[in-house]
Amino acid sequence: MTLKAYLLDHRLQITAYLFGLCLFCGGLWLDPSHRVHADTLLYMASLITLFAMAIMALAYRRRKRWLSDWQARINAGADALDWPLAPAQNHEQAVITQAVNQLLQAHRQAMTQVLTTQQDYRAYLDSWVHEAKVPLAAISLIVDSLDGQVDETKLTQLSLQLDKIDHDVEQVLYYSRLDSFSRDYLLRDHDLKQVVNAVAVDQRNSFIAKQLSFQVVGPAITVTTDDKWLRFILRQLVANAIKYTPAGGAIKALLAHGEHEATLTIQDSGIGIPADEQHRVFEKGFTGTNGRNANQKSTGLGLYLAAQLAQRLGHHLTLTSTVGAGTAVTVHFTHLDYYGDSGATLTPQPLAK
């Protein structure tokens, strides 16, 4: 708090003081007997004014010290929510201090309760997902054992629906872990072609059901990433490509190696995305025109999760699309050269098998 600001805040009191001083001096001066000389009156007024200025300067210094704590809170932002206020210097400040400290305590209690509830909810979701995967795995084994005993078309449809359920259950699991990502990742070097092929194998039932072709084009590329999270990202991209590509279409995985980054593009020959919707495809819950189609129900979470997880891994996604000509989603892997730098905190790991 500056002196100018303090004086402006107290301009009413200063004006009242000066007005009162003028009235007092004027009253004495108008005394018919003139028992007080003008010099004496001016001298007394000057002393009183100096005394008032000293009192105001002292009050300003005390108030400035108290308000500096508030300024420190403003500069600290959210970090200041755990700071109790400094002791008050008068009754007015005591009331303000007590009120603010009570609000801070209530805020901390509310935040603790919210965090506890979120942790319980996340733990429940994790438990539910793992419990749900057990019967899903058992049903998959039963379906495999029925090969050759029941109609092949029905068996394929059943496998396809099981894959969709497994995909949705996995999406719930990764969504619940989004906030705790920093505690569950391991950066290593991985062969990108191997990761892409593994994802394609996981989606084989969907490819067969829609008679889609899949091709990996490009050189062998090694990227530094987390294998588990990257596979989930690619499953979202491939699942989207399958969903919006008509039967008999083609999906390609295009690998490229540039000077500053490596890229992996999942390109399909599907229905495409309208140009005015492309800037929103990575927003949470956005389904767009295609997602509202009666035959292609969408939650709007797949690309959102993929983009969020890619960002946490140090990658990022871009998208290009033409209505009727397909969509291409690219994962950008920025080159990391800190392995060879002095003071590196990571050491290169062997390629995952």
As a three-state string, the secondary structure of the chain is CCHHHHHHHCHHHHHHHHHHHHHHHHHHHCCCCCCCCHHHHHHHHHHHHHHHHHHHHHHHHHHHHHHHHHHHHHHHHHHHHHCCCCCCCCHHHHHHHHHHHHHHHHHHHHHHHHHHHHHHHHHHHHHHHHHHHHHHHHHHHHHHHCCCCCCHHHHHHHHHHHHHHHHHHHHHHHHHCCCCHHHCCCCEEEEHHHHHHHHHHHCHHHHHHCCCEEEEECCCCEEEECHHHHHHHHHHHHHHHHHCCCCCCEEEEEEEECCCEEEEEEEECCCCCCHHHHHHCCCCCCCHHHHCCCCCCCCCCHHHHHHHHHHHCCEEEEEEEECCCEEEEEEEEECCCHHHCCCCCCCCCCCCC
Please give the average per-residue pLDDT across 113-128, as a whole number: 81
Give percent of the chain with pLDDT exceeding 90.
Answer: 15
Please give the average per-residue pLDDT across 43-71, as a whole number: 79
Range among 86-90, 166-170, 310-314 rated most confident:
310-314
What's the mean per-residue pLDDT of the chain? 80
Range among 8-22, 199-213, 294-308 rated most confident:
199-213
Please give the average per-residue pLDDT across 244-259, as a whole number: 90
Predicted pLDDT at 7: 73
Residue linked to tokens 């999760």 = 305
Predicted pLDDT at 16: 78
Please give the average per-residue pLDDT across 111-137, as a whole number: 81
- Where does the pLDDT of residue 336 fall: very low under 50, low under 70, confident under 90, or very high at 90 and above? low
Predicted pLDDT at 263: 92
The yes-or-no verdict on residue 92 having pLDDT over 70 is yes
- Tens of pLDDT, residue by residue over 290-326, are 777 646 667 778 888 899 889 988 899 999 999 888 8
The yes-or-no verdict on residue 351 having pLDDT over 70 is no
Q: How far is CA 244 from CA 14, 161, 237, 264, 296, in A?
A: 74, 17, 11, 19, 8
Please give the average per-residue pLDDT across 247-251, as a whole number: 91
The yes-or-no verdict on residue 266 having pLDDT over 50 is yes
Please give the average per-residue pLDDT across 67-82, as a whole number: 76
- Where does the pLDDT of residue 198 fall: very low under 50, low under 70, confident under 90, or very high at 90 and above? very high
The yes-or-no verdict on residue 343 having pLDDT over 50 is no
